[in-house]
Amino acid sequence: MAGIRTGKLAIALSLTGMIVLVSRTSKIDQGTMTGKVIDFC
């Protein structure tokens, strides 16, 4: 039982880490895109 629980916990943590990573990179991309659009205008 403990192995299954720790496995699920590890999966949940890795998924959360992936989501955080994606959201951070998308924010960076949005910032650069907005800057380019503003410079273009």
Report, in this order, helix, strand and coil percent for the chain, each rounded to 5. Answer: 95, 0, 5
> Which amino acid is present at 13?
L
* Eight-state DSSP code of residue 29: H
Residue-level pLDDT at 18: 92
Residue 29 to residue 41: CA distance in whole angstroms: 18
Q: Using one digit for the tens of pLDDT, what is the confidence trace for 1-41? A: 566 677 888 898 899 999 999 999 888 888 877 787 777 76
Structure tokens at 34: 């907005």
Residue-level pLDDT at 10: 87
Structure tokens at 33: 């895109």
Predicted structure pTM score: 0.55
Residue-level pLDDT at 3: 62
Residue-level pLDDT at 28: 83
